[in-house]
Amino acid sequence: MFRIEEVEHRYGDRTVLRDVSVELTERRVAVVGANGSGKSTFARLLNGLVVPTSGTVTVDGLDTRKDGRRIRAKVGFVFQDPDLQIVMPTVAEDLAFGLKHRGLSKADIDQRVEQALEDNGLRDLRDQPAHLLSGGQKQRLAIASVLATAPRYVVFDEPTTMLDLRSKRQIARVMAELEQPVVVVSHDMDLLEGFDRVLVFDEGRLVADGPPDVSIAFYLELMGAC
Ligand SMILES: Nc1ncnc2c1ncn2[C@@H]1O[C@H](COP(=O)(O)OP(=O)(O)OP(=O)(O)O)[C@@H](O)[C@H]1O
Ligand SMILES: [Mg+2]
């Protein structure tokens, strides 16, 4: 699926990712690391929102430099800040918005919107103004909007930061049940239970890569937490 080869990324003269080479083929991959270690930049490389300063990123053989549009149709991206993602006045309209211009009939769109409301516990909020939802409800809507487009892969950048315990568990369940492979950036170690692989970033470098228990132990030590 994702192949990252000898990637370096700079914002201006600041190097924030260096010497990153990794191939992601597992169903559940997590990315952890300190604030500013380059996790979001790495996540954005995966769907071409950011293209590397040097090196290459390919998704199913497509290069993010050349095939950004096709890759973004394949790789759904859930932002940390749902306000970046919510664009329409009501919850149902916002869900429908992402489904337009995809060659779907009106009936198909309506059906997918109803399904997304149902699957994500948003039915009661159907006609509510999206901008008046609570932070956690907005985050659920942002996730629902991305999943409604049925992407081949889903990248989540800290999807649970605003959520209460119940919503967190609900999102964890949604993730566990997803058929698509996912890559999740998270500071929430509980969310990573059952993941296949955890990458640890530190100052722009990939410093650990392995099963959750091994990588998380490495990360906690790095953070001086044990
Ligand atoms: N658009 C940008 N322009 C300039 N610098 C940026 C930009 N985005 C991120 N950076 C810088 O790149 C570095 C890595 O940022 P990134 O957002 O990838 O870190 P992160 O690991 O996701 O952090 P956090 O845990 O706080 O979300 C930081 O030093 C940040 O200030
Ligand atoms: Mg981040």
Instruction: Looking at the CA of 200, name the nearest ligand.
Output: 1
| Substitution site in 18, 39, 46 for ligand 1 pocket (most atoms within 8 Å of beta carbon) | 39
Whether 226 has a pLDDT exceeding 60, the answer reads: no
Q: Whose CA is nearest to atom 2 of ligand 1?
A: 11
Share of the chain above pLDDT 70, in %: 99
C-alpha 34/C-alpha 145 separation (Å) is 28
Strand partners, 206: 201
Strand partners, 2: 24, 59
**Cα 63 to middle of ligand 1, angstroms:** 23
Q: What is the pLDDT of residue 37?
A: 97
Instruction: Write phi, then psi, for 133 (nearest 5 degrees).
Output: -65, 160
Q: Binning pLDDT at 50, 70 and 90, where does residue 160 land? A: confident
To the nearest 10 degrees (0 to 180), the angle between helices 106-119 and 135-148 is: 140
Residues lying with their CB under 5 A of ligand 2, a single-atom ion: 40
Q: What is the pLDDT of residue 61?
A: 97
Strand pairing category for 182-185 and 153-157 = parallel
The per-residue pLDDT for range 82-136, each reduced to its tens digit, is 898 899 999 999 999 989 888 889 999 999 999 999 988 899 999 999 999 988 8
Q: What is the pLDDT of residue 193?
A: 87
C-alpha 47/C-alpha 183 separation (Å) is 11
Q: Whose CA is nearest to atom 16 of ligand 1?
A: 38
The per-residue pLDDT for range 117-129, each reduced to its tens digit, is 998 889 999 999 9
The domains of the chain, with CATH numbers, are 2-87+146-222 (3.40.50.300)
The per-residue pLDDT for range 161-207, each reduced to its tens digit, is 878 888 888 888 888 888 999 999 998 888 898 899 999 999 999 99
